[in-house]
Structure 1
């Protein structure tokens, strides 16, 4: 598993590059293997600071953002991503704390800050579908 947020090389083939931001190693591992087995190139970050650093130097087509990180709330991180980095990739909020009908989730989706939302535990087919739909919007 990619333990550091090593930038992926920038090529036209990077249309399938994903950054996973999650503090749980097991979640990063399972998401990485799920996405790689579906043809995506994957990098990961264990904290908001690592993610911001990576997003300043590398380009990803999709970013999965955990709602609760040790150093920053995932929603606040998404705002910082848009302000502090050149990243304009679709952001998908991933959470075991929030659900589809939570006011917070509905608001960040309505505002456009996040393109989609996935609950933990993650249903594999649902996540792959959300990623594919987000890529179609590029």
Structure 2
């Protein structure tokens, strides 16, 4: 379980989605930083350690899997949960990314609160 008050990075360009995920996580005592581009995400991970990142598949400036791969190259212990409405769990893109360790989990949009909270257990 991710320790209470841990820093979590949320990378998504949908404001409503960010609001919902942040509310779920801050309600459990986590510190959530939100960004909406890959450039902002890379700036954040270089300035602060995030043990857990929630990452959308489609960002305005980069594909989510490309960003996940870059983050994992620099910080291989960071746990990345792909949070997206563009893929489904059994999609070959997702199963390959999971098997290669590019991402550590997958949550489909729309999601339930429990889906987000279950991602805290790893």
2:51–2:79: 8 Å Cα contact kept in structure 1? yes
Name 2:92's counterpart in structure 1.
Answer: 103
- Correspondence for 2:37: 47
Q: 1:37 to 1:15 in 2, by over 3 A?
A: closer
Return the match for 1:26 from 13, 16, 20: 16
Taking structure 1 as the reference length, the TM-score comes to: 0.81
In 2: Cα distance, 1:87 partner to 1:62 partner: 11
- The match for 1:17 among 7, 32, 38 is 7
Structure 2: gaps (5+ residues): none
Please give the root-mean-square deviation of Cα atoms over the aligned residues, in Å.
1.6
Partner of 1:70, secondary structure, is coil
Aligned position for 2:105: 116
Alignment match of 1:90 (pick from 74, 79, 84): 79
Say whether 1:63 aligns with 2:73: no
Q: Residue 38 of structure 1 corresponds to which residue in structure 2?
A: 28
Q: Higher relative contact order by CA 8 Å / sep ≥ 6: 1 or 2?
A: 2
Identify, as 1 or 2, the structure richer in helix. Answer: 1
Question: Where has structure 1 moved over 4 Å in runs of 4 or more?
Answer: none
